[in-house]
């Protein structure tokens, strides 16, 4: 597809269950990011993948959150033992190489429609 694709678009689950959110980035984009958008916290960075490098997990709020990216393309964000405070919209973004340090780098990130997660 032309844009970043996320699934499911909506997910409702009971507290304590595990959930998996999927992101399919734009073809050719080597950088992939997960963000969370919630009423109280705004838009927060969660995790960043760049090619085969170790991911930057500095934004993950707890060890219940994890993510992987297989084959440098599709990524899955997993939340274990969900809590009500995990309710939010989870946004995925991708960009061309995000590892550059020159002024010609820092390519814009293109976002998917997000997954709206509701924990009952």
Partner 1 sequence: AQKVTQAQTEISVVEKEDVTLDCVYETRDTTYYLFWYKQPPSGELVFLIRRNSFDEQNEISGRYSWNFQKSTSSFNFTITASQVVDSAVYFCALSDLSKAAGNKLTFGGGTRVLVKP
Site residues for partner 1 per CB under 8 A: 31, 33, 35, 42-45, 48, 50, 56, 59, 89, 91, 93, 95, 98-103, 105-114
Distances from the Cα of 22 to the Cα of 11, 39, 101, 119, angstroms? 12, 22, 29, 17
Which residue, 74 or 89, has its beta carbon nearer to partner 1? 89
Which residue, 35 or 79, has its beta carbon nearer to partner 1? 35
Q: Provide the minimum distance between the beta carbon of 114 and partner 1 in the complex, in angstroms, as a whole number.
A: 6
Strand segments, DSSP code E, in the chain are 5-7, 10-13, 19-24, 31-38, 42-50, 65-69, 75-79, 88-95, 110-111, 115-119
Q: Provide the minimum distance between the beta carbon of 116 and partner 1 in the complex, in angstroms, as a whole number.
A: 8
Which residue, 48 or 65, has its beta carbon nearer to partner 1? 48
**Phi, psi (rounded to 5 degrees) for 83:** -120, 165
Which residue, 30 or 82, has its beta carbon nearer to partner 1? 30
């Amino acid at each position: 597809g032309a844009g970043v694709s996320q699934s499911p678009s909506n997910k409702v689950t009971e507290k304590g269950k595990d959930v998996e959110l999927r992101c399919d980035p734009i073809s050719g984009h080597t950088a992939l990011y997960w963000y969370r958008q919630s009423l109280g916290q705004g838009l927060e960075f969660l995790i960043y993948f760049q090619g085969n490098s170790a991911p930057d997990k500095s934004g993950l709020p707890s060890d219940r959150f994890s993510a992987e990216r297989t084959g440098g393309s599709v990524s899955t964000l997993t939340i274990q033992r969900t809590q009500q405070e995990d309710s939010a919209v989870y946004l995925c973004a991708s960009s061309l190489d995000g590892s550059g340090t020159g002024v010609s780098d820092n390519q814009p990130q293109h976002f998917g429609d997000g997954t709206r997660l509701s924990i009952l």
